[in-house]
Structure 1
Amino acid sequence: MSSVLYVCVRPERSAADAEHRSFSRDLGIRDLDRLDLLHASLETVEWEQYDGFVIGGSPFNVTDADKGDEQRVVERDLERIAARAIDGKAAALFTCYGIGVVTRMLGGEVTMDHPERVQAARIRLTEAGAADALFGPNAPEMSVFTAHKESAAETPPGAVLLATNDACPVQAYRVGNRLYATQFHPEASPQDFADRMAVYRASGYFDASEYAATEKMVLASSVDGADLLSRFPSLLG
């Protein structure tokens, strides 16, 4: 059993497997434990024994009007992980879809007003971000991969804004000392993101007619997200 649990919320097996490998690589944890919430709930593992959690992305949206029971159960379990991190009993990093779950849980608004298509976006670290254990070494700016349809309208109650940009005001925040939420995907290398594009080609994250050009742009990008994940284990214990 590793000290960190990768929590998967992707229905697409190939994308889920690749995301697991990406987190394992960047965390420096060779045998990173994994739980696929679409196939098993938190109760199927000894989840409270883990010191840390990393939550991957998903094509789900918190703002979906036609949620099925499966998605509702997933969001309930993600909230349980977030609550444990807020209480300081574990460290957790929620990415993309996960920031929406945490934002709503905190009483914030999730909106469709700030979407970002597939790109390597520049984000600015706030003063709090520059002083943060995970983000600080990358101050004053970072380049990260984004691809999302919804986001937090503003920093939710109880959270500290760590990163922003003009396209999406809430790129990352921290709650307490051990819960982090990012709108972007820190685990994806250029090749990882290009491979993910192939899975979600018809999902509206980019213009499918511009696939080749978008893929070329992604592969030519340089991003800093792996830096955050390499420092995440320092939060454990």
Structure 2
Amino acid sequence: MGSEYIPPVRLAILEADTPVPGVKAKYGSYGGVFTHLFERACASLSPPQPLSSLLELSYHDVVNDLNSYPDPKAIDAILISGSKHSAYEDDEWIVRLVEYTRQCLEGGRVRVIGVCFGHQIVGRAMGAEVGKNVLGWELSVTEHELTNEGKKLFGVEKLAIHQMHRDIVFSLPPGAVQLARTDVCPVQAIYIPKRVITVQGHPEFTADMVREILEMRRYGGILSENVFEDGMRRVNNKHDGVAVARAFLRFLREY
């Protein structure tokens, strides 16, 4: 007998921002950026698999359209993207996103992935404090210290991924397992089996994307020259974004 057919996971990507111009020109939206990441992750499997056999993706602009949210009954999981905005603010669309995330978490059926801003939104929805880090920015390819659970879940002994944040989740949300930490940000990744996985970093980012963001933020006066140069020194370092995406795929198909 052949193996039982498992339909693709219906994953709704909640776009919490618009990419910088160069990224937008190439990928369209953050939905396109994450599609590119998952394509690379599927190609790296043994044996390689087409994206369409594992995931059915949809994109939802939750910043500009408060009615864009998918019916939780029509999806299996959500992925909340990064954003230049702060997850602790009370703009209408941010409050709505927190409420929708909490609804998915409490409903018990829709799995939740959070990336950077999305990680912080999940933390807020689960009752953890989110705010600005007094230690400042964490930028570019950054090495993480993994817990034993993190090593198992990500399938690596050490993890390095791109960062682009100054806000953090201050404490581990109730019931969550810590996966990774850095000296600048102790709560780097959290996990609840079959329910939630988040990372503070950006597995979807490439060197070209981060270089453009760093340059825009330097010219905009957001980053000091020293912080900018520190990020640029590490922008081309090897990173494990695809390994994180493979962990997302495994999480989405946990039974």
TM-score by length of 1: 0.80
> Distance in 1 between the 2:227 and 2:144 partners?
24
Q: 1:28-63 deviations in whole A, cap 9, x for unaligned?
A: 247842101012236653443222322111122133
Tell me the SS of whatever aligns to 2:35: helix
Pair 1:107 & 2:132 matched: no
Match of 1:77 in 2: 100
Match of 2:44 in 1: none
Tell me the SS of whatever aligns to 1:157: coil
Which of the two has higher C-alpha Rg?
A: 2
> Distance in 1 between the 2:74 and 2:191 partners?
22
1:42-57 aligned within 5 A: 45-57=70-82
Q: 1:118-146 deviations in whole A, cap 9, x for unaligned?
A: 221110110121232xx2x122x111111
1:138-217 aligned within 5 A: 138-139=156-157, 141-201=158-218, 202=220, 204=222, 206-207=223-224, 211=228, 213=229, 216-217=232-233
Q: 1:89-116 deviations in whole A, cap 9, x for unaligned?
A: 2332101112222222222222323543
Long gaps (5+) in structure 1: none
Q: Which amino acid aligns with 2:132?
A: M
> Distance in 2 between the 1:18 and 1:215 partners?
24
Say whether the 8 Å CA contact 1:116–1:149 is kept in structure 2.
yes
CA distance 1:229–1:50, shift in 2 (3 Å): same
Match of 1:224 in 2: 240
Long gaps (5+) in structure 2: 1-7, 40-50
Tell me the SS of whatever aligns to 1:3: strand
Match of 2:150 in 1: 129
Instruction: Number of aligned residue pairs: give it.
Output: 226
TM-score by length of 2: 0.75
> Distance in 1 between the 2:65 and 2:145 partners?
37
Pair 1:91 & 2:111 matched: yes
> Distance in 2 between the 1:44 and 1:62 partners?
18
Question: How well do the aligned residues superpose, as a CA RMSD in angstroms?
Answer: 2.8
CA distance 1:183–1:11, shift in 2 (3 Å): same
CA distance 1:175–1:116, shift in 2 (3 Å): farther
Please, which moves more after superposition, 51-60 or 2-11? 2-11
Tell me the SS of whatever aligns to 2:179: strand
Q: Which amino acid aligns with 2:17?
A: R
CA distance 1:13–1:72, shift in 2 (3 Å): farther
